[in-house]
Structure 1
Amino acid sequence: MEREQVKCLIIGSGPAGYTAAIYAGRANLSPVLYEGIQPGGQLTTTTDVENFPGYPSGISGTQMMEDFRQQALRFGTDIRYGIATASDLSQSPYKITIDGEKEIETESLIIATGATAKYLGLPDEEKYAGMGVSACATCDGFFYRKKVVAVVGGGDTACEEAIYLAGLASKVYLIVRKPYLRASKIMQERVHHHENIEVLYEHNAEGLFGENGVEGVKLVKRLGESDEEHYEVAIDGFFLAIGHKPNSDIFAKYLETDEVGYLKTIDGTPVTRVPGVYVAGDVGDPNYRQAITAAASGCKAAIEAERYLAERAYQESIG
Structure 2
Amino acid sequence: MEKYLLIIATLDTKGREAAYVKKCAQSRGIHPLLMDVGTLGEPLAHPDISRAEVIKAAGYNLDFIKGKDRSIAFEAVQKGGTILTRRLFEEGKLHGVFGMGGGTGTAIVTHIMRSLPFGLPKVVLSTVASRDVKEYIGTKDIVMFHSVADILGFNGFMRLILGQAAYAICGMMEKGSEMNKEKQMVAVTAYGINSVCAMNAEPLLQERGYEMIAFHANGCGGMAMEEFIAQGLLAGVIDFTTHEIADEMFGGYCKGIGQMRLETAGQFGIPLVVVPGGLDNAVFSPFYPMPDQLKGRKTHPHDIRFCVRMGSDEMKQFAQIIGEKLNRSKGPTHILIPKKGWSEADK
Same fold (TM over 0.5): no
- Structure having the higher strand fraction is 1
Higher relative contact order (CA 8 A, sep 6+): 1
Scaled by the length of structure 1, the TM-score of the pair is 0.26
Structure showing greater Rg: 2
Which structure shows the bigger proportion of residues in helix conformation? 2
